[in-house]
Amino acid sequence: MFIGNFKNGFMLLALLFFYDIFFVFGTDVMLTVAKGIDAPIKLQFPKDYSGEKPSFSILGLGDIVIPGIFVSLCLRFDFLKSLNLKHLDKLIEKDDKPMKYLVDTAINCKKSYFMAVNVGYLLAMICTIVVMLVFDHG
């Protein structure tokens, strides 16, 4: 997947953020749909076990997949940032295993953006689950 540039990705995620807030907290549309479908499109976290039928908080698959795409784009950015294109061109001209260079670069490159986004994503997921449980929403 290639979205063009950072501005497009940021705008997409920002719009999806407000879309999600409106349809989850502003209306009951998402919650009604998610509770009515018995398919693997949601993660359920138990609120309590006291009743015969336990109640659950729901986290939609879109809340996991869309940021996951952003995380993968950050990994790609780290990889592209570490490529030496002149060296790669020389390897391609000589037909001297350019794929080995690409694989070695992918394995050994600094993954600073990827790691920072992963930590932020983990903290956001924890925060989301805590808020769902504390405010009894979802």
Name the residues annotated as catalytic: 20, 63
Give dist(CA 138, CA 63) in Å, integer: 13
Q: Is the dihedral of CA 59, 56, 132, 122 positive or negative?
A: negative
| DSSP conformational letter for 10 | H
Buried/exposed 55-93: b ≥16 CB within 10 Å, e otherwise:
ebbbbbeebeeebeebeebbbebbbeeeeeeeeeeebee
